[in-house]
Chains A and B, each alone.
Chain A
Amino acid sequence: MAGLLLSLSFGVVAQDAGLSQLEAIVMSAIVYAGSAQFSAVAILAQGGGAGAAVAAAALINSRFLPMGVALAPSLRGGVVKRALQGQTVVDASWALASRPDGSFDRGLLFGSSAAQYTTWVTGTTIGAVWGEGLGNPHDIGLDALFPAFFLALLVNEARSGRARGVAALGALIALVLVPIAPAGVPVLVASFAALVGLTRGAREAVFQRQEAEGEAR
């Protein structure tokens, strides 16, 4: 349900940012990473260039690195097969397939991902093709949809005080840069706020969580 609504919105808003109907659909079909697609298109909508848009997508996707590492021991086969199996990782499928012992249910991972992929591409197609019928994007408040989506993700993501502090710092950096830096750049520079993770306290928090997960196995 959430996936359908979000992919519908993506189909509509991507065109508002300058993608064609076909481009919006192709992007969902070959990128298949919601927050990365939304981020890249948001940068374009702000007037940012292709490089900044791709960089934003890469940075927001970086969370798939540790997720892929955790998944690796549960996969079988050679390099190509493992690389392709890794593509089924999206937030929901990964969370659904993870078992309490730290391993992953491959059937559940592939199955839920296939269902989500179908929904994602179908929703984007419907939004891209019929979205114009909704009326003037400005009148229906469509420009509030992207930031609302990011804010909802942020609220769910930033549970620790440290994460909230980094979020505030990132927002501040971006707002200071908006009047002086080229479009798209403020968001990328704001990612440096994550370097707070190099402080001793932050590393210890990660270490303790890994230890706790290790004991649970």
Chain B
Amino acid sequence: MSTGATVIIGAAIVTFAIKAVGPVALGGRELPTWFTSVVVLLAPALLAALVATQALADGDKLAIGADTAGVAAGGVVAWRTGSIVACVLLAPAVTAALRAL
């Protein structure tokens, strides 16, 4: 099986399981506070790591380039307007413009 197929099937199974477990097994029960407290912080930790490894690195080397500037510009727009669409449109546009110079 190709890597792509493995990832798709694996991601489908874990997503199904995670979405099912609350409604099926934990109905009406409260999750322990420490658990919820860690889960709500997982997204910021992972998202920041994904941004950093893509915008500030190239493979296994730290690298700053046109894409770094594009992502930064998108980030400012997201921060000022809260719009995901504006951010996702602007970042590649700025990156492409810098590369075309």
Contact = CB atoms under 8 A, between A and B. Distances in A.
A2 B50 contact: no
Contacts of B23: 68, 71-72, 75, 82-83, 85-86
A142 B87 CA distance: 13
Interface of A: 1-2, 5-6, 9, 18-20, 23, 26-27, 30-33, 35-37, 39-42, 44, 46-47, 49-50, 53-54, 56-73, 75, 79, 82-83, 85-87, 89, 138-158, 162-164, 166-175, 178-179, 183, 186-187, 190-198, 202-203, 205-207, 210
A121 B57 CA distance: 31
A58 B61 CA distance: 26
Contacts, number: 343
B11 A186 contact: no
B29 to A, nearest CB: 7
A83 B23 CA distance: 6
A206 B43 CA distance: 16
B45 A167 contact: yes
Contacts of B40: 63, 66, 163, 197, 206
Given A57-B10, A60-B47, A68-B18, 19 more contacts: A23-B4, A31-B11, A35-B43, A36-B11, A57-B11, A60-B43, A68-B20, A82-B23, A82-B27, A141-B67, A145-B92, A147-B51, A152-B75, A171-B49, A175-B52, A178-B60, A179-B61, A187-B49, A202-B41
